[in-house]
Amino acid sequence: MNLIKHIERLEKIDKLIRTRRTGTPDEFADQVGISRRQLYNYLDELRSYGVEVSYSRVCHSFEYRNNKRLRVYFDCEEIERSQANQITGGYRIFAPNSFTFGFIGFATAV
């Protein structure tokens, strides 16, 4: 899958959860443009980052449970090879012929 598309989906999922406008799991998946199974894969990914997400029947929406949420960002810049060795999270992207590095970061915020 395209990395940018993945990030865009995570951003949309985060926004819908924060605003408690997900609806049922099927409605949520439709809003994001993915299958219900893919939705649960994304929710599992959020959980792997330490973000607790569950469905509230009272609110008819998914919600964050542990006062954490996902902050998704993309930052791409040209850096020296030595700087790339200091990146400690996210994904490093390296284009060998151009000495270009990119960094995709995922962080949880309280």
CATH code given to domain 3-66: 1.10.10.10
Q: Tens of pLDDT along the chain (110 residues)?
A: 588 888 889 989 999 999 999 999 999 999 999 999 999 999 999 998 888 999 999 999 999 998 777 777 666 677 777 776 776 555 555 555 544 445 555 444 44
Q: What is the DSSP letter of 103?
A: E
Task: Say which residues have a Cβ less than 8 Å from residue 68's Cβ, sequence separation at least 6.
Answer: 50, 51, 52, 108, 109, 110
Q: Which pLDDT belongs to residue 33?
A: 96
Q: Which pLDDT belongs to residue 42?
A: 94
Q: Which pLDDT belongs to residue 101?
A: 46
Sort 21 into a burial class: Cβ within 10 Å, 0-12 / 13-18 / 19+: middle
| Residue 81 main-chain phi, psi, to 5 deg | -55, -40
Q: Which pLDDT belongs to residue 95?
A: 52
Q: Which pLDDT belongs to residue 4?
A: 80
